[in-house]
Amino acid sequence: MSAPSAARAEVPVLAADRLTVRFGDRTALADVTLAVPRGRVVSVIGPSGGGKTTLLRAFNRMNELVPGAATTGTLRFNGVDLHGEEVDPVEVRRRIGMVFQQATLFPRSIFDNVVFGPRARGHAGDLLELAEEVLVAAGLWSEVAEDLDRPAMQLSAGQRQRLCIARTLALKPEVLLLDEPTSALDPAATARIESLIHSLRRDHTIVLATHGRRQAARLSDFTAYLAGGELIEYGPTEALFTNPRDRRTESYLTGRIA
Amino acid sequence: MSGPKHRRDGVGTACEVVAALVAAAFLAVAGVLAVEAWGAADLGFLFDPSSRVADRAGIGPALAGTLWLAALTVAFALPVGVGAAVYLEEYAPRGGVVAAAGGAVENLAGVPSVVYGVVGLALFVRGLGMGPSLLAGGCTLAALALPTVIVTTRSAIRAVPCGLREAAYSLGATRWQVVRGQVLPAAAPGIVTGSCAAVTRTVGEAAPLLVLGAVSFMTFAPRSPADPLTSLPTQVFAWSARSQEDFAAAAAGAGVALLLVLLVVNLAALAVRRRLRGIPA
Amino acid sequence: MSGAATSLSRRAARGPADRLARPVFLCCAVLSAATLVAVAGVLGVETARFFGTVSPGRFLTETDWTPFAEEPRFGVLPLLAATAQIAVGAAVFAVPAGLMTAVYMEHYAGVRAKRALAGITTMLAAVPTVILGYVALAFVTPVLLRTLWPGTEAFNALSACLAVGLMIVPTVIAFTRSALQSVPTALMEAGLALGAGRGRVVVRVLVPAAFPGIVAAAFLAMARAAGETMIVTLAAGNQAQLAWSPLEGLRTLTAYIAQSSMGDAPAGTVQYGAFFAVSAILLAVTWGLRATGRRLMSRRDSGGVR
């Protein structure tokens, strides 16, 4: 199974093929086909309820935790079928990390939150060292270094979201799924998260759901426009923003920015 | 809620009088019990075995029996009930057979307690050959407490914020790690409250134990679950039935002792809940 | 990291607790479901066997209950009538008392009175019924009732009704309060705005609007009263008769089960089967009352009030 790295470069990190997700009678995602190239930032834009969150949650098999959810089509991670017989969803989630719109922290200390993932998988190494590493990467270390034992709930909204990113980084994931990570934050905190995303792109493939069109333009290499559960358009960010091929994309981009 | 509440009128006065009567009736029950029990109050009463002579009767065996029954009920009903609730909420596939059967168990909450005695007699005392023992009593009371434990635990689990579960799953926690690390700790105060209510209710039950064949005259305190079934509620019943033969005081004394046991159970639950909340939030 | 990139199956690496959790929880659920099966099964089998000997028609229509007589008769009617008398008699006291207390708590009481009443009803609900039975037998009958009616029998329906009524008052209060709370405040305020006094609004607007909920509360409380055993056994006695005076004794379904020591009837005999038939009837009565109450309540919740 271990393909030579030269060939690996051709294989997209994540690939959805005719992906459809239903919750009971409601179709949240219809027939979506798209590939996420390695080491790039892909943003997913579109109106609320258009399927952005469902797409992200499909990539790390979170949808199946919702009663009544049904997924058809295929999803591949480095060429491996994510719904294959042998695949453990728990392992999938450890390799494809996710940060939610709402920063839900565990009612424990900052440290316990950061090392939650490594502990869950039975991490053997030095947890403190790991915690420092990922908190530095998340740009939070200087603010919390002295009080790792403080309850995490005491942090500000922006700090909480960075803590969520740090605890996801502690999994050492290849892919980061960021679901509107700045929608609940003020402009200053948003700016910090954006520069953080910018620095994380060096080591990670990132899928960013956002309804900030300018955020998508600033941060991503590729952009997908999702509406009504359908993938309307997908392409290089610059091309999509300057010269959309689809009328619907155009009206979405112009209608609100103007 | 709406407007000033203290304005009096005919309806309000009537309602107030009735409310006061309800409160007075409760206080009268407590008062009658306390006054009657005064005659039995001495240290010997707590430890002495029962006697055919009213003055010498004690509740030693009955008290020990009730403590045994409480322990057995908690030991059986709590793990099984909480486990069943966790399965139904976190593991069971929706619409499955077990989910349906588990949901139906909630209907058992309305079954009169005396019916549990009839079933327990057929099943435990005779069917499994336990005889009229504390073990048979514990099993019956556990079955009686089970629906309440399941119902309250399920609602406590449902109240756990969804985001907490999702965050843990997204960080690669297994189902068991989510249950153990997030769901159960967050639901624990609710589980303790519900279980305490279930235990309070069952430990005060006399009817099912009477049907199983509880004895009211025992010369030694039970030392194992295989010993004969005896308890404070059935002792209160037996002595009440003979209240015209000077056993009224003993019955009241046993009743007060029963209430004290229930009080201790509730205080213990309160302390556990305090500690659970005290853990750094 | 790149070497392991394709291996997503690490199930084997999970701890034993992880693999054991599901089957253990499943066992708990199955065991719980088994109690339901056991109750239904035991009652069903034994009752069916009983009706193999005694015809259900005679069981339900005859008026003599003498299972241990030389020529045993199994007419459940006296027991059933006694259960109905106690349930209705208790409700006669408890429903008005509970309703008025609930109205007082919701619309008149100050914070302290409300808290005190809430505390008292909680404690009252926790009092074991055998204690209420004792008070009925040792205090209500000899002290209260004998003073009013010297001819009162030692065992009588009235003291049982009073004690059972006290037992179900917390149930009535709890359900009635939630029925009152579900009446839109706008309705109350509209009445007050029209210049009606608070008492008038309570009687004319509030109670009628909450009426289905109050009836539901009455049914749920009667279900508890019908299933109550210790109070009626102690206070109402053990005479299986169709009693017409509340000052006479009677014997309910529950009292029969609790009092006639079942050990006297060897398994397999008709007398033994009679206990299960009586239990089945009792279950049917309480379930019927509960189901009616629940139905009324869900009708209220599903938009009976607009």
Q: Output the CA torsion C167→C172→C178→C184 (10° steps).
A: -150
- Long-range Cβ contacts of A185-189 (<8 Å, 24+ apart): A185/A157, A185/A158, A185/A161, A186/A157, A186/A158, A188/A158, A189/A156, A189/A157, A189/A158, A189/A161
A185, amino acid identity: L
Q: Which residues contact C142 (CB under 8 A, 6 or more apart)?
A: none
Token pair for A77: 């991670």
Higher pLDDT, C83 or C246: C83
Q: Do the chains contact at C42 and B122, CB–CB below 8 Å?
A: yes
**Whole-number Å distance between alpha carbons of B167 and A60:** 12
Environment class of B126 (CB within 10 Å of its CB; exposed 0-12, middle 13-18, buried 19+)? middle
| pLDDT bracket for residue A6 (50, 70, 90) | very low
The pLDDT of C16-44, averaged and rounded, is: 90
| The pLDDT of residue C4 | 43
Chains that touch C (3 or more CB pairs under 8 A): A, B
Q: Do the chains contact at B172 and A121, CB–CB below 8 Å?
A: yes
Chain A CB contacts of C6 under 8 Å are: 1-3, 78-80
Which one, of A164, A215, A179, lies nearest residue A56 by Cα?
Answer: A179
Token pair for A205: 């493939």
**Whole-number Å distance between alpha carbons of C58 and A243:** 89
The answer to whether the beta carbons of residues A80 and A244 sit under 8 Å apart is no
Q: Could you give the percent of chain C with pLDDT greater than 70?
A: 90
Angle between helices A157-169 and A127-137 (to 10 degrees): 120
Residue A258 above 50 pLDDT? no
**Whole-number Å distance between alpha carbons of A161 and A175:** 18
Q: Output the CA torsion C127→C130→C135→C141 (10° steps).
A: 140
Count of Cβ atoms closer than 10 Å to residue C268 Cβ: 10
Bridge-based pairing of strands C73-74 and A205-209 is: unpaired
Q: Which residues contact B260 (CB under 8 A, 6 or more apart)?
A: none
pTM (predicted TM-score): 0.88
Chain B CB contacts of C42 under 8 Å are: 118-119, 122-123
Residue A257 above 80 pLDDT? no
User: Model confidence over A48-99: pLDDT tens digits?
Assistant: 888 999 999 999 999 988 888 999 999 999 988 998 888 888 989 999 999 9
Residue A162 above 60 pLDDT? yes
Count of Cβ atoms closer than 10 Å to residue C235 Cβ: 31
Token pair for C28: 């708990």
Residue B35 above 80 pLDDT? yes
Element (H, E) at A207: strand A205-209
Q: Which residues contact C175 (CB under 8 A, 6 or more apart)?
A: C213, C216, C217, C220, C221, C297
| Nearest CA-CA distance, residue C131 and chain A, Å | 44
| The pLDDT of residue B43 | 63
Residue A4 above 80 pLDDT? no
Q: Which of residues 131-190 of B touch C (CB under 8 A)?
A: 132, 143, 146, 150, 174-177, 179-180
**Whole-number Å distance between alpha carbons of B115 and B137:** 13
| pLDDT bracket for residue B56 (50, 70, 90) | low
Token pair for A46: 């579109």
User: Model confidence over B205-232: pLDDT tens digits?
Assistant: 999 999 998 887 777 788 888 888 899 9
User: Model confidence over B231-269: pLDDT tens digits?
Assistant: 999 999 988 887 666 788 888 889 999 999 999 999 999
Tell me the DSSP string of A54-68: HHHHHHTT-GGGSTT
Give the three-class secondary structure for A175: strand
| The pLDDT of residue C243 | 61
Compute CA C123 distance to the chain's CA centroid, rounded to the nearest angstrom.
18
Look up tokens 């030269």; give the residue.
Answer: A6
Q: How far is CA C174 from CA C188, C204, C217, in A?
A: 20, 22, 8
Q: Could you give the percent of chain C with pLDDT greater than 90?
A: 43
The pLDDT of A158-169, averaged and rounded, is: 92
Q: Number of C-alpha atoms within 13 angstroms, CB side, residue C72? A: 14
The answer to whether the beta carbons of residues C43 and C276 sit under 8 Å apart is yes
C186–chain A Cβ distance below 8 A for any pair:
no
| pLDDT bracket for residue C64 (50, 70, 90) | confident
Q: Do the chains contact at A8 and C11, CB–CB below 8 Å?
A: no
The pLDDT of A2-10, averaged and rounded, is: 50
User: Model confidence over A15-36: pLDDT tens digits?
Assistant: 999 999 999 889 999 999 999 9
Which one, of C260, C227, C280, lies nearest residue C45 by Cα?
Answer: C280
Token pair for B274: 């305090």
**Whole-number Å distance between alpha carbons of B20 and B15:** 9
Count of Cβ atoms closer than 10 Å to residue C142 Cβ: 16
Residue B136 above 80 pLDDT? yes
Q: Which residues contact B4 (CB under 8 A, 6 or more apart)?
A: none
The answer to whether the beta carbons of residues C226 and C286 sit under 8 Å apart is yes
**Whole-number Å distance between alpha carbons of B74 and B198:** 9
Higher pLDDT, A2 or A102: A102
| pLDDT bracket for residue C298 (50, 70, 90) | confident
Q: Do the chains contact at B166 and A100, CB–CB below 8 Å?
A: yes
| The pLDDT of residue A225 | 93
- Write phi, then psi, for B258 (nearest 5 degrees): -60, -45
**Whole-number Å distance between alpha carbons of A51 and A48:** 8
**Whole-number Å distance between alpha carbons of C52 and B134:** 34
| The pLDDT of residue B1 | 44
Most confident residue range from B266-275, C88-97, C291-300: C88-97
The answer to whether the beta carbons of residues B272 and B245 sit under 8 Å apart is no
Q: Which of residues 13-32 of C touch A (CB under 8 A)?
A: 13-15
Give the three-class secondary structure for B3: coil
The pLDDT of A129-133, averaged and rounded, is: 92
Q: Could you give the percent of chain A with pLDDT greater than 70?
A: 95
The pLDDT of C21-31, averaged and rounded, is: 92
Q: Do the chains contact at B172 and A90, CB–CB below 8 Å?
A: yes
A171–chain B Cβ distance below 8 A for any pair:
yes
Q: Do the chains contact at A87 and C8, CB–CB below 8 Å?
A: yes
The answer to whether the beta carbons of residues C59 and C72 sit under 8 Å apart is no
Out of A146-150, A243-247, B103-107, pick the least confident: B103-107
User: Model confidence over C141-193: pLDDT tens digits?
Assistant: 888 888 888 877 778 889 999 999 999 999 999 999 999 998 888 888 888 88
Residue C264 above 50 pLDDT? yes
Sign of CA dihedral A100, A101, A107, A110: positive
| Mutant choice from C1, C2, C6, C8 vs A, greatest count of A C-beta within 10 A | C8
Please name the member of B23, B180, B206 whose beta carbon is closest to the beta carbon of C117.
B23
| pLDDT bracket for residue A3 (50, 70, 90) | very low
Tell me the DSSP string of A115-151: THHHHHTT--S-HHHHHHHHHHHTT-HHHHGGGTTSB
- Write phi, then psi, for A35 (nearest 5 degrees): -125, 140
Higher pLDDT, C154 or A228: A228
Higher pLDDT, B36 or C91: C91
Token pair for B112: 């009169």
**Whole-number Å distance between alpha carbons of A72 and A76:** 13
**Whole-number Å distance between alpha carbons of A37 and A52:** 18
Count of Cβ atoms closer than 10 Å to residue B107 Cβ: 14
Angle between helices C207-227 and C77-107 (to 10 degrees): 140
Chain A CB contacts of C1 under 8 Å are: 172, 174
Residue B101 above 80 pLDDT? no
The pLDDT of A39-44, averaged and rounded, is: 93
A32–chain B Cβ distance below 8 A for any pair:
no
Q: How far is CA B232 from CA B36, B171, B257, C35, C228, in A?
A: 17, 52, 8, 26, 18
**Whole-number Å distance between alpha carbons of A210 and A208:** 6
| pLDDT bracket for residue C239 (50, 70, 90) | low
| Nearest CA-CA distance, residue C107 and chain B, Å | 6
Partners of residue A70 on adjacent β-strands: A22
